[in-house]
C-alpha cells in the first residue's frame, strides 16, 4: 500500500462518510458495508483497550459515558503504535481540556495515575539501590551524589484525594466526600514484580524531589535528621536505581 493509500485508509477509519473504494474489488455498496463493519471493529477494539487500561476511570464515569468519551478521543487521537497497551498517553490531558468534564477535575488525575501504572508495569528493569549493599559511611557518601529514580517510578501531586478516589474503586478505602476532599500525593512504581500504588506524605515528596540534585538530599537530612526514617522507607520500597 502506498503512503497516500495508507493515509486515505486511516482517514476513512475515522470518517463515516469516507470509503476507500480504491481498495475494494466488489460492488460499491457491498464494499462500503464490509468496510463499515471493519471500522466498527477497529473502534470497538480501541475502546476496549482504553477500558482495560483505565478501569477506574471507566468505573467512575460509567460504561455509557466512558464509551462516549472514548469515541470522541479515538476520533482525534488514533493509536501511534500497533501495541494497544501503549494507547492512551494523551487521555489525561484530553480529559483536562474536555469541556463537558470541566467540573470534575479529578478525572484527569485518575487517568494520569492509571497511565503511570501502565508505564510502571512495562518499565525496564534496573538494579535498585539497596541498604544491604552499604554501611552507614557508604550510604552517607552516596547521598551527596544525585540519585536516580527507578524507571518505573512516577510521582503524582494532585489537588484532589487521588489515592482515596482510586483505592475506593478497588474496595481498599472509602470514597472521599465533598466535605473531606484533601489534596493527595501518590507514588506509582514496580517493586520487583509487584506493581505498587501508595499515598505519599509531604516529606517523602520533598525527599524524592531533592534526591536528583547533588548534595541537596544530604543537606536536607543534616537539617532535618528526623527525615531519615522517611528516606529509609523509600529505600525499602526500592524506588531508587543503583546507577
Give dist(CA 231, CA 101) in Å, integer: 38
* Residues 197 and 145 sit within 8 Å (Cβ to Cβ): no
Q: What is the CATH number of domain 113-243?
A: 3.90.930
Give dist(CA 94, CA 108) in Å, integer: 8
Render the burial of 192-218: b for 16+ CB within 10 Å, e for the rest. eeeebbbbbeebbbbbbebbeeeebbb
* Residues 118 and 190 sit within 8 Å (Cβ to Cβ): no
Give dist(CA 212, CA 145) in Å, integer: 8
pLDDT in tens, the chain (243 residues): 555 555 655 665 665 555 655 555 555 557 667 766 767 777 888 999 999 999 999 999 999 999 999 999 998 898 887 788 889 999 999 999 999 999 999 999 999 999 999 999 999 999 999 887 777 788 888 888 999 999 999 999 999 999 999 999 988 888 899 899 999 999 999 999 999 999 999 999 999 999 999 889 989 999 999 999 999 999 999 999 987
Boundaries of CATH 3.90.930 in the chain?
A: 113-243
Amino acid at each position: 500500500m502506498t503512503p497516500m493509500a495508507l493515509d486515505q485508509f486511516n482517514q476513512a477509519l475515522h470518517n463515516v462518510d469516507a470509503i476507500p473504494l480504491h481498495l475494494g474489488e466488489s460492488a460499491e455498496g457491498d464494499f462500503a458495508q464490509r468496510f463499515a463493519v471493519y471500522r466498527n471493529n477497529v473502534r470497538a477494539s480501541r475502546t476496549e483497550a482504553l477500558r482495560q487500561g483505565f478501569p477506574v476511570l471507566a468505573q467512575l464515569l460509567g460504561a455509557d459515558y466512558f464509551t462516549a468519551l472514548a469515541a470522541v478521543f479515538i476520533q482525534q487521537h488514533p493509536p501511534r503504535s500497533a501495541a494497544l497497551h501503549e494507547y492512551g498517553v494523551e487521555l489525561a490531558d484530553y480529559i483536562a481540556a474536555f469541556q463537558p468534564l470541566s467540573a470534575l477535575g479529578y478525572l484527569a488525575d485518575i487517568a494520569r495515575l492509571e497511565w503511570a501504572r501502565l508505564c510502571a508495569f512495562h518499565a525496564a528493569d534496573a538494579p535498585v539501590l539497596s541498604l544491604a549493599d552499604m554501611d552507614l559511611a557508604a550510604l552517607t557518601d552516596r547521598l551527596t551524589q544525585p540519585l536516580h529514580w527507578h524507571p518505573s517510578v512516577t510521582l503524582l501531586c494532585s489537588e484532589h484525594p487521588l489515592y482515596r478516589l482510586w483505592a475506593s474503586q478497588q474496595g481498599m478505602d472509602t470514597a472521599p466526600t465533598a466535605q473531606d476532599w484533601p489534596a493527595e500525593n501518590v507514588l506509582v512504581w514496580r517493586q520487583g514484580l509487584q506493581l505498587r500504588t501508595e499515598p505519599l506524605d509531604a516529606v517523602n515528596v520533598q525527599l524524592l524531589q531533592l534526591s536528583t540534585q547533588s548534595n541537596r538530599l544530604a543537606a536536607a537530612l543534616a537539617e532535618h535528621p528526623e527525615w531519615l526514617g522517611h528516606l529509609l522507607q523509600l529505600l525499602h520500597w526500592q524506588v531508587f536505581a543503583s546507577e
